[in-house]
Amino acid sequence: MSAPRRLLLVNGPNLNLLGTREPEVYGTQTLADVERITADAASAHGFEVRAVQSNHEGVLIDAIHAAREDCAGIVINPGGLTHTSVALRDALSGVALPVAEIHISDVRARESFRHFSYVADVAVVHVIGEGVAGYATATDRLIAILTGQAEG
């Protein structure tokens, strides 16, 4: 049986507000734009994307658990859960799928509480501060690892 050619795209709390929430920080593109950008990047490599966004940690964890059944990897912007959720980190670690962590803004240049990521040590790709275009970068890099074109 061949490996699945699907990625799970996970967007955490408040990312449903993209396009209207702090446009000076996050830009004016929407969650629908993020999902399209990611799907287009994946499609260029013969992959498809299943997208989930929730403001509820348990919904995200359930989606991550389900991904082990039919996904090859995970692209995730955990939002504020980046800095607070051991449970989300443990879910990502527990499914043993390669993970790409993405942040629209440069979290390292923002408030000090944003400098730490619980996801960082389980991710093989990190894309920070490239805006919404970073989703394509993260997708491309993750697929390169999945297809053996790059090391993770």
pLDDT tens, residue by residue, 110-120: 777 777 799 99
Q: Is residue 1 part of a domain?
A: no
User: CATH number for the domain including 115?
Assistant: 3.40.50.9100
Give the residue numbers spanning the domain of 128. 6-146
Q: Is residue 152 part of a domain?
A: no
Q: Total structural domains in the chain?
A: 1
Tokens of 12: 């955490």
User: If 0-12 CB within 10 Å is exposed, 13-18 middle and 19+ buried, where does residue 112 land?
Assistant: exposed
Catalytic residue among 45, 56, 103, 118: 103
**Chain segment 35-62, per-residue pLDDT in tens:** 999 999 999 999 999 999 999 999 999 9
Q: Is residue 63 part of a domain?
A: yes
Tell me: is residue 104 an annotated ligand-binding position.
Answer: yes
Q: Is residue 151 part of a domain?
A: no
pTM above 0.75, yes or no: yes
State the residue for tokens 């275009």: 133
Q: Does residue 26 have an active-site annotation?
A: yes
- Report DSSP letters for 62-110, one per residue: HHHHHHHHH-SEEEEE-GGGGGT-HHHHHHHHHHT--EEEEESS-GGGS
